[in-house]
Amino acid sequence: MVEVSARQQHAFRILMQRHMPRALRVAQRIVRDPAEADDIGQEALLRVWSHAASFDPKVAKFTTWFYRIVLNLTFDRTRRRSFHPLDEAGEVPDTAPHAAESMIAAEEHRMLQRAMANLSDRQRGAIALFYVEGLSGQEAAEAMNLSAKAFESLLGRARAALRESVQKIQDTGSFA
């Protein structure tokens, strides 16, 4: 990061290699649109480049700072937009032959997509940081600019809503 602050493009390329997938994953989990997630990822890295000098490692870890940038950009977009880019009906089923395990995984993935659609953006953010990115509760709270207690409450509500949705989907047995 010191080299990025000193405008070293080589260091910035390495940083992008490491962190672009994180940005895309988190953004996509929240906005559910790959193209929009790509835009957010690019914008986040541009912000890292232009605001590198303001990053202070004594205040926060780089990943926490970076996730906060990604989340702010993502929530800004979801606040502005008035449509849902991807229909909540989930993805088109792949009819190619698969092993049983990957079929189960694909089915679970579709079920999760459906269930995630019922959550708020902030709840999806909490799930992405804690379960997908593997941040601790404290780190995720910092990245979302929340107190530890508020994050616990958000995560608890998100998890309860997801569990309920998954149960409902399993009971009706339909992903459509």
Partner 1 sequence: MTFDEFRRLAETWGGDVERWPAATRNAARPFAATLEGGRILAEQARLDRLFAAAPEIEAGRAERSSFLVLQRLANVQQRRPQWHRFLFPRGLVPAASLACSVLVGVWLAGAIPYVHPPSDPLSVMSGVFDVYAIGFGSVQ
The footprint of partner 1 (CB under 8 A) covers 9, 13, 16-17, 20-21, 24-25, 28-29, 34, 37-38, 41-42, 45-46, 49, 105, 108-109, 111-112, 127, 131-132, 134, 136-138, 148, 152, 155-156, 159-160, 162-163, 166
Minimum separation from the CB atom of position 10 to partner 1 (A): 11
Answer yes or no: are the C-beta atoms of 28 and 34 closer than 8 Å. yes
Least CB distance to partner 1 at residue 156 (A): 4
Nearest residue (CB) to partner 1, 23 versus 65 = 23
Instruction: Output the smallest distance, CB 148 to partner 1, in A.
Output: 7
Cβ proximity to partner 1: between 41 and 82 the closer is 41
Closest distance of CB 16 from partner 1, Å: 4
CB closer to partner 1, 82 vs 118: 118
Q: Between 38 and 82, whose beta carbon lies closer to partner 1?
A: 38
